[in-house]
Every structure is written in structure tokens, then in C-alpha cells.
């Protein structure tokens, strides 16, 4: 016990001694810390894109909602079925009802070319045709400016993110659908989520404008409860009159961004690993320089009876400290520069723009700092071993 | 050059440090190579599009169909050489993650429009003879291990079949190569007549048209003229040069160029710190030696040049090796996104820029220590 306490005291003494002398080597120490800060900043920023996209998808989801698509299709964009099918779906068991009937919204999902503000070039903006029940199905729908569109007229409301990302989407202006101008009468919010990047209008007005006949692409339903899903799904799957696929909203949106987030995460990790390797070399450099600058100190300590392991640990600790400072700095940089940064990108699955915000979450910051710590440990390990192995006599003789 | 041995021995003075510095520079240039190739992959369509080709789509959006009958009318416009249509098929091979593009096309007209897709006469003949025949690009064929003669089942997402079968089966009759490595060989083409006959809806409708003009200088006017042709019709059109169309796509994803530049900015800032710090240490340790050199008659400028040369040598050793490794990895290992990028290679232009970057990194990292060495007074240095 006494030995352990003694050992710990040695570790603390040597480590604090090393750290107190850090200012003497501030140039090299700063180079290592800033290098690691750069790595963490890039890693966290890139991964915050994938994080933001996923969070937007999560906010689109209600556990009580289910989506019905044509069987075989995996997005609303490629789905399609007749009004008869939509009616059969609406009558299926498990759907919640209000005084007007079942909470099932047969919808149309198309895209329209508009100008993206950030790049000033064409973008496929999602244009959704909805039915009355749509407002009830989406939990957090609210108009934040203007009013709802009137049924049967060439009017649209735009999501708050769409209004921000694409030019010309302000209340009072209009969009051209073919040769006809459609008036923008309101801006809506759904408390985050994909819908805020969309434009909504009356499905029955959109059908003729896009020559869709009496067809829909999806039915979005609100279930009595989460548990009603199986009942709802089984009844439709067994129904010979329809050929549809029933999935939970969560499952649908997870599938929508699978490719996008896989690509971003893959590239981001690759970049982080390569950059991290560079930073390890930088940290090694700094720590070797530290060891050589402190050769005499270390040898003196050893001559005074300090054991090798406290010396080894103190070098590792110093490297770790620099890495943690760098990691925190990089994480903070990414957080202040990019958390909440608003953007839109093309979602290949639905062939349309999805508006989202970069999200630097706590877990991402922890991931970044952990990565920094790993760089610090790798960068400190070999110099620490060298320090521990210094032959005392020759080291003392060194300049 | 006669000082080379002096410079070389100063690099060898602290081998570990020199090697570590070179390695960190090397890593930065590997990343540079990769990011350049990725950026090119996203922009690929733009660089490889034909100057004499236009793309005509529905005015409202690309997902809206155009009548098949437009082809003949476009071809009557003065200055149009030929027009051929394409349609997005969007099927799934095995699982959604295996994304690649598939298009039904008219065999001869399409191959004529895209001479950069190289296919043997034998494969072409087989395609003309096989109604459900299809050809695939070399990259995509290798990705899934397809061989000529394989049956490729593709699950329909949009285009359901009349017979209710959810799967379209194609007979792979050929594999096309690119005329050079900037050609997209990740696509899959099958016959329009087969598609037209078997699809359950949309008969007579196509997605878009490629139009080739006789003289690229007139492209803008011809684009306007064909759009005029269909103005006020149920399907109005928007025609633009292929490069602009492709650029539009790349921009839809986001400003890839900017993101890559920002990342590289961070990388090179980091590397400059590492290399600059290393050079500063090298000069600090050698103050006495530098003073001795000067006492021996080396001029201030010669000392400046030697320190700069040392830094340059470090950066170029690391930079060139990094570029070479990046090139090898890109060529042999291929696309890190596993086939999402249409082309993946390191263009010569970016290699040249990389070489310049290495030189610049060397100069930037060495300049402050070099000036310090230049200004050093013999007496001060020797007294240390």
C-alpha cells in the first residue's frame, strides 16, 4: 500500500514537473496541439453533416405514423397507385379517426426546379400534394407566416427550410408550375424534419398539373397507437385488392438517407484517419523533442531514485494533455463554426433536395476528443519509452 | 548543388525528426491526392461532357416525361445532327445500397451519340440481336463480378411490368469500356424497345433527350430554338449544354469544391505547423554551426538558401512520395465510396498542382527559420 502511494506520488511529482516546464517548449507544444485541433475540427465538421441529416430524418418521424407505398418501391418518388387503392388503405383497421373520418392522407410527391440560394443553380425541390388529414397526421404542423392554402386553388405553402434555402419562396410571391403561376400564401413549420424543406399544395390540384390522373404516391396514416401497426400492416398485406408495402415512418426515413450518410461517414472517417496519422507524426516529433530537451532533467530524477514508470507515464501524460487541449480546441472550433449551419443537399434516394442543419452533438464532440486522446497516446508512447530507457550516466553527461 | 552534401547531412543530423516530418508531409499529400480524385468524381460529368451535346428536359422538372414523338421534331431543326432519348429506370440490384444508374436506350442511336463508350462489334451485334440484352460499364461489371452471358435481375421501383413480375431480367451481352479513364463506366444500358413493350404504364413517354449539334458555337441558339418549338405545348422543355446540366447536378449535392478546399486548407495549415516547427528546431539547434559556417566565409544569402533548401528538400521528399502513393492507391484500390462515384482517378492537372504545393509548403515552412539563420551575427552565434 505504501509502495503504491509512493509510486503515485512519484507519478504526480514527475508529471507536474514536466507540465510546469511546458511553457519553455511552447512553440513545439503549440504546433502539436494545433495540429491535433485541425484533425478534430475537420473530423467533427464532416461527421456533423451526416449527424444533421440523420437528426432531420428523426424529427420527421412519429412512432404512431405509418406509410403505404406501392410494393417494390422504396421511396415516395418511385411509388404510385390509384385512388381506389388509397381508399382501401384509408379504411384499413388500426387507423385513428376524427370527426371527418380516418386520419389517412393520400399524397403526391413530385419535384420542381427552383433556384438554390447558396449556389444560384437549379435544384429539385420537393413539391407535395396533400389531403385534409395531412395536417392531423403531422404532429407539430403550424403556420408561422401567412395562412394555409385554400383547397382546389393554385396556392401553395412552403416549409421554413425551403423558404430559406431556395430563392423566391416568400409569401406573396409565386412559383411557376409549367406556364401557370401558383401563389405562395404561407410558411409552415413542423418542428424540424424533412417536411420543412418541402412545398405543399392540394393533391387534387397537383394531379392534373403533373398529368398524374387520379393517382397517388403514398398514404400517410396516423395509427390508434404504436401497437396498431401490425394489425394495419397485416390487413393490407392480406388484402388481394391492393399491392402495397406498409412501413413505419421511422423505417422509411432511415432508408431514405442510408446511402447519403454512408457516403459522408465513409469519406469523413477516411479523411480523419489519414489526417490523424499525420498528426501522430507531428505529436511524435514534438514529444521526441521534449524528451531530448529534458534529457538531463529526466536523468537527474532517475539518479535521485525515481522509478522508470513514473517517467514514462509523465511523458505520456504530457502528450495526452496537449492532445486533449488540441481536441477540445478543434471540437469547439467545429461547434462554433458549424453547429446549426443550414444547408441542403441532393438526396439520391428521393431524387430531391433535403434541407438540414449541421449538428455537432455532445457524442460527436466526445468522439472527436477521444480520437485526439488516441493521437496523443500514440504520439507520446515511443518518446516515453525512449525517456524511460535513457541510461542515466550518459544522459547526465549530455549537454 | 555543391552544398547538397551539407544540406543532406543536416537532414541526417536528427534522423527521427526528419523522417517524422517527411512522413507527416507525405500523409498530407496522400490526402490531397484522394480529395482531388473525389472532387473530380463528383464533378465528373462536367469535365467529360461533350461540347456538341445538349440535354433537353421537361421545363418543370426532370421527373416529368416528354413524348417520344419529340425526337423527329428536334431532328428537323436546322443545325441539329441527331437526337436520342433516355429514361431513368431506377431499379434495384439485390439491395438498395448497390446503387447504379440504368437507362433504356435505342442501341445504335445511343452508341452513335456517345462514341466515348467503346464496345466491341461482337458485343454490339449481340445486343442488337437480344431483345432483353443489356450492356454494363467495366467498373460496374467488375464491382458485381458480372460476365458476359450473366442474367442480371433488377427489381423495378418505378417501372412495373405489364405481366406483374416485380423483376426485370436482363441478359448481359456486352461490357463497354471508356475511351479514356475520365469516361463514366458505372452505367447499365438496356434496349428501349424491350422496355416500351414490357412496361405497364407511360407508354410512348421518355425522360429526356440528348441532342447533338453540328457546330458547338451555335449550341446556345439551337437550345433556344428547340425550346421555342415546344413552347405552349403540354410538355414544355428546357434545353441546356450537357456540361451545364451536369454542373447543375453536382451543384445540387452542394459546393463540393468548397468543402474539399476547406478541408485541404485545414490539412495544410496543420502540416505547415509541423514542418515549420521542425525547421525552427533544426535551426535553433545549429546556431553555433551556422555561425561557424559564416565565420568560414559563407555569405548570409548562402546560409538563407541552405536552410530554405533543407526545408524544400523535406517538403518535396514527403510531397512527391505522398503524391506517388496517392496515385498508386487510387489506381489500384479504387473508390472509397464503393462505386458511388462515376469516375475515380487522379488527373495530371492535380498532380502538377500538388508538386507546386509541395514546393510552396517547403518555402513557407522554411522561410522564418531561414531568415533567422541569415540574420545571425557570427559573434552572437559563437557565444552560445
Give the minimum alpha-carbon distance from B196 to chain A in angstroms, rounded to a whole number: 18
Grid cell in block for residue B278: 521542425
B239 and B350 belong to one structural domain: no
Residue A349 lies in a domain: yes
- How far is Cα B89 from Cα B104, in angstroms, rounded to an integer? 7
Residues in chain B within 8 Å Cβ distance of A116 = 251-252
Q: What is the pLDDT of residue A399?
A: 56
B91 in the same domain as B17: no
A124–B34 C-beta distance less than 8 A: no
Structural domain boundaries enclosing B375: 4-45+255-383
Domain span at residue A149 reads 72-242
pLDDT of residue B1: 62
CB-based contact B274 A353, cutoff 8 Å: no
pLDDT of residue B337: 67
Per-residue pLDDT at B46: 66
Question: What are the distances in angstroms from CA B184 to CA B40, B83, B99, B147, B180?
Answer: 12, 21, 15, 19, 9
Domain count across chain A:
2
How many helices and strands in chain B, by DSSP H and E?
14, 12
Total structural domains within chain B = 2
Contact list in A for residue B264 (CB cut-off 8 A) is none
A121 touches chain B (CB under 8 A): yes
Q: Do A233 and A114 share a structural domain?
A: yes
Q: Tell me, yes or no, if A363 comes closer than 8 A to chain B by beta carbon.
A: no
Q: Which is it for the CA torsion A15, A17, A19, A24, positive or negative?
A: negative
A221 and A76 together in one domain? yes
B87 and B188 within one domain: yes
Which pLDDT score, from 0 to 100, does residue A398 have?
66
Q: Is A251 inside any structural domain?
A: no
Residue A40 C-alpha, separation from nearest chain B C-alpha, in angstroms:
10
Residue A140 pLDDT > 80: yes
Kindly state whether A337 is in contact with chain B, defined as any CB-CB distance less than 8 angstroms: no
Between helices A2-20 and A308-338, what is the axis angle to 10°? 50
**Residue A370: inside a domain, yes or no?**
yes
Tell me which of B190 and A288 has the higher pLDDT: B190
Residue A68 cell numbers, joined: 403505404
Chain B neighbours among A 157-196 (CB < 8 Å)?
177-179
In B33-178, DSSP assigns E strands to: 53-58, 66-67, 80-86, 102-105, 117-118, 133-137, 151-155, 167-178
Interface test with B, best of A41, A46, A74, A113 (most B CBs within 10 A): A113
Sign of the Cα pseudo-torsion (A9, A10, A15, A18, in order):
positive
Q: Are residues A231 and A281 in the same domain?
A: no
Look at residues B253, B282, B310 and tell me which one is the last residue of a structural domain: B253
Which of A39, A282, A326, A337 should be substituted to probe chain B, the one whose Cβ sees the most B Cβ atoms within 10 Å?
A282
- Specify whether B326 is located in the same domain as B247: no
Regarding whether A352 and A275 lie in a shared domain, the answer is yes
CB contact under 8 A, A122 and B252: yes
Residues B166 and B57 in one domain: yes
Across the interface, whether the CB atoms of B270 and A279 are under 8 A apart is answered yes
Distances in whole angstroms, Cα of residue A253 to Cα of each of A66, A195, A245, A318, B139: 11, 12, 15, 45, 30
| Single pTM value for the model | 0.86
Residues A317 and A284 in one domain: yes
Decide if B278 and A345 are in contact by the 8 Å CB cutoff. no
Mean pLDDT within A61-85:
90
Same domain for A236 and A308, yes or no, is no
Low-confidence ranges of chain B (pLDDT < 50): none
Question: Are A47 and A166 part of one and the same domain?
Answer: no
Q: How far apart are CA A291 and CA B307, in angstroms?
A: 25
B156 shares its domain with B201: yes
Give Cα A298 to chain centroid, integer Å.
47
Question: Do B342 and B323 fall within a single domain?
Answer: yes
Cβ pair A285:B24 closer than 8 A = yes
Does residue A305 share a domain with residue A202? no
Query: Same domain, yes or no, for A90 and A190?
Result: yes
Distance in angstroms (rounded) separating the CA atoms of residues B91 and A72: 10
- A304 and A231 in a common domain: no
Q: Do A278 and B28 touch (CB under 8 A)?
A: yes
Domain final residue pick, A182, A211, A242: A242
Which residue is it, cell 535551426?
B283
Interchain CB distance below 8 Å, B267 and A38: yes
The answer to whether residues B323 and B223 belong to one domain is: no
User: Which tens digit of pLDDT belongs to each residue from A171-201?
Assistant: 999 998 877 899 999 999 998 889 999 999 9
CB neighbours (10 Å) of residue B163? 7
Q: Which of B253, B283, B303 is the last residue of a domain?
A: B253
Q: At which of A208, A242, A276 does a domain end? A: A242
Taking only residues 250 to 269 of chain A, the set having a beta carbon closer than 8 angstroms to any beta carbon of chain B reads: 255, 258-259, 262-263, 266-267
- Exposed, middle or buried by CB within 10 Å (0-12, 13-18, 19+), for A26? exposed
Residue A260 banded pLDDT, cuts 50, 70, 90? confident
Nearest to B63 among A344, A349, A351 (CB): A351
Query: Same domain for B343 and B365?
Result: yes
Write out pLDDT tens, residues B55-80. 999 988 888 899 999 999 999 999 99
pLDDT digits (tens, 9 = 90+) for A322-372: 999 999 999 999 999 999 998 888 887 778 898 999 999 999 999 999 999
Asked whether residue B59 falls in the same domain as residue B170, the answer is yes
**What pLDDT does B48 receive?**
65
Do B349 and B218 share a structural domain? no
B83 shares a domain with B214: yes
Amino acid A230: pLDDT: 94
Work out the minimum CA distance from A310 to partner chain B, whole angstroms: 24
pLDDT of A286 strictly over 90: no
ipTM of the complex: 0.83
- Report d(CA A276, CA A271) in Å as an integer: 8
> What 3-state class would DSSP assign to A382?
helix
Please indicate, yes or no, if residue A286 is contained in any of the structural domains.
Answer: yes
Same domain, A226 and A338: no
Res B141: pLDDT: 94
Domain end, chosen from B234, B253, B272, is at B253
Query: Given this model, what pLDDT does residue A31 score?
Result: 85
Do A52 and A357 meet the contact criterion of CB atoms below 8 Å apart?
Answer: yes
Residue A231 sits in the same domain as residue A91: yes
Amino acid at each position: 500500500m505504501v509502495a503504491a502511494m509512493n509510486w503515485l506520488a512519484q507519478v504526480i511529482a514527475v508529471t507536474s514537473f514536466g507540465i510546469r516546464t511546458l511553457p519553455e517548449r511552447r512553440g513545439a507544444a503549440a504546433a502539436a496541439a494545433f495540429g491535433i485541433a485541425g484533425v478534430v475540427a475537420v473530423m467533427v465538421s464532416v461527421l456533423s453533416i451526416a449527424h444533421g441529416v440523420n437528426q432531420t430524418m428523426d424529427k420527421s418521424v412519429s412512432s404512431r405514423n405509418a406509410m403505404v407505398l406501392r410494393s417494390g418501391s422504396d421511396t415516395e418518388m418511385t411509388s404510385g397507385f390509384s385512388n381506389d387503392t388509397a381508399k382501401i388503405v384509408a379504411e384499413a383497421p388500426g387507423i385513428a379517426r376524427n370527426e371527418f373520418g380516418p386520419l389517412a392522407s393520400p399524397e403526391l410527391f413530385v419535384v420542381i426546379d427552383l433556384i438554390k440560394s447558396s449556389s444560384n443553380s437549379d435544384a429539385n425541390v420537393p413539391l407535395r400534394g396533400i389531403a385534409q388529414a395531412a395536417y392531423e397526421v403531422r404532429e407539430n404542423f403550424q403556420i408561422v407566416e401567412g395562412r394555409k392554402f385554400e383547397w382546389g386553388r393554385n396556392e401553395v405553402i412552403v416549409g421554413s427550410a425551403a423558404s430559406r434555402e431556395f430563392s423566391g419562396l416568400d409569401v406573396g410571391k409565386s412559383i411557376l408550375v409549367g406556364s401557370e403561376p401558383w401563389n405562395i400564401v404561407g410558411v409552415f413549420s413542423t418542428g424540424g424534419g424533412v417536411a420543412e424543406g418541402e412545398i405543399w399544395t392540394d393533391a387534387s390540384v397537383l394531379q392534373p398539373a403533373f398529368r398524374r390522373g387520379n393517382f397517388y404516391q403514398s398514404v400517410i396514416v396516423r395509427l390508434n397507437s404504436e401497437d396498431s401497426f401490425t394489425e394495419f400492416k397485416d390487413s393490407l398485406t392480406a388484402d388481394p385488392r391492393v399491392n402495397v408495402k406498409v412501413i413505419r415512418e421511422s423505417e422509411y426515413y432511415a432508408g431514405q438517407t442510408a446511402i447519403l450518410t454512408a457516403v459522408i461517414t465513409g469519406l469523413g472517417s477516411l479523411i480523419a484517419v489519414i489526417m490523424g496519422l499525420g498528426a501522430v507524426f507531428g505529436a511524435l516529433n514534438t514529444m521526441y523533442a521534449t524528451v531530448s530537451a529534458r534529457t538531463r532533467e529526466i536523468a537527474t530524477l532517475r539518479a535521485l531514485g525515481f522509478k522508470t514508470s513514473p517517467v514514462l507515464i509523465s511523458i505520456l501524460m504530457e502528450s495526452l494533455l496537449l492532445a486533449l487541449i488540441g481536441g477540445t480546441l478543434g471540437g469547439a472550433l467545429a461547434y462554433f463554426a458549424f453547429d446549426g449551419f443550414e444547408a441542403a443537399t441532393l438526396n439520391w434516394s428521393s431524387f430531391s433536395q433535403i434541407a438540414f442543419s449541421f449538428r455537432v452533438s455532445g457524442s460527436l464532440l466526445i468522439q472527436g476528443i477521444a480520437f485526439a486522446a488516441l493521437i496523443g497516446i500514440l504520439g507520446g508512447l515511443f518518446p516515453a519509452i525512449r525517456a524511460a530507457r535513457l541510461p542515466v550516466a550518459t544522459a547526465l553527461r549530455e549537454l | 548543388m555543391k552544398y547538397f552534401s551539407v544540406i543532406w547531412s543536416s537532414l541526417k543530423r536528427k534522423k527521427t525528426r526528419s523522417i517524422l516530418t517527411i512522413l507527416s508531409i507525405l500523409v498530407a499529400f496522400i490526402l490531397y491526392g484522394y480529395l482531388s480524385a473525389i472532387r473530380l468524381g463528383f464533378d465528373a460529368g462536367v469535365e467529360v461532357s461533350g461540347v456538341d451535346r445538349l440535354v433537353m428536359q421537361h421545363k418543370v422538372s426532370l421527373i416529368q416525361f416528354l413524348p417520344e414523338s419529340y425526337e423527329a421534331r428536334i431532328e428537323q431543326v436546322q443545325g441539329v445532327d441527331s437526337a436520342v432519348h433516355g429514361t431513368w429506370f431506377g431499379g434495384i440490384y439485390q439491395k438498395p445500397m448497390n446503387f447504379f444508374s440504368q437507362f433504356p436506350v435505342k442501341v445504335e442511336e445511343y452508341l452513335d451519340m456517345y462514341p466515348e463508350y467503346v464496345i466491341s462489334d461482337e458485343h454490339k451485334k449481340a445486343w442488337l440481336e437480344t431483345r432483353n440484352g443489356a450492356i454494363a460499364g467495366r467498373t460496374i461489371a467488375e464491382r458485381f463480378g458480372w460476365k458476359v452471358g450473366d442474367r442480371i435481375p433488377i427489381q423495378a421501383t418505378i417501372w412495373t411490368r405489364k405481366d406483374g413480375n416485380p423483376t426485370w431480367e436482363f441478359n448481359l451481352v456486352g461490357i463497354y469500356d471508356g475511351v479514356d479513364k475520365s469516361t463514366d463506366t458505372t452505367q447499365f444500358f438496356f434496349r428501349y424497345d424491350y422496355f416500351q413493350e414490357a412496361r405497364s404504364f407511360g407508354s410512348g413517354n421518355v425522360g429526356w433527350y440528348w441532342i447533338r449539334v453540328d457546330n458547338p458555337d451555335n449550341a446556345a441558339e439551337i437550345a433556344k430554338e428547340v425550346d421555342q418549338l415546344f413552347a405552349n405545348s403540354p410538355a414544355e422543355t428546357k434545353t441546356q449544354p450537357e456540361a451545364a446540366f451536369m454542373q447543375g447536378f453536382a451543384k445540387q449535392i452542394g459546393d463540393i469544391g468548397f468543402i474539399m478546399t476547406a478541408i485541404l486548407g485545414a490539412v495544410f495549415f496543420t502540416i505547415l505547423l509541423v514542418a515549420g516547427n521542425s525547421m525552427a528546431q533544426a535551426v535553433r539547434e545549429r546556431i553555433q554551426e551556422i555561425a561557424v559556417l559564416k565565420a568560414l566565409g559563407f555569405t548570409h544569402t548562402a546560409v538563407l538558401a541552405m536552410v530554405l533548401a533543407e526545408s524544400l528538400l523535406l517538403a518535396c521528399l514527403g510531397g512527391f512520395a505522398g503524391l506517388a502513393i496517392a496515385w498508386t492507391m487510387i489506381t489500384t484500390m479504387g473508390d472509397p465510396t464503393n462505386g458511388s462515384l462515376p469516375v475515380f482517378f487522379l488527373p495530371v492537372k492535380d498532380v502538377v498542382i500538388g508538386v507546386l504545393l509541395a514546393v510552396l509548403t517547403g518555402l513557407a515552412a522554411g522561410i522564418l527559420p531561414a531568415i533567422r539563420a541569415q540574420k545571425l551575427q557570427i559573434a552572437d552565434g559563437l557565444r552560445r
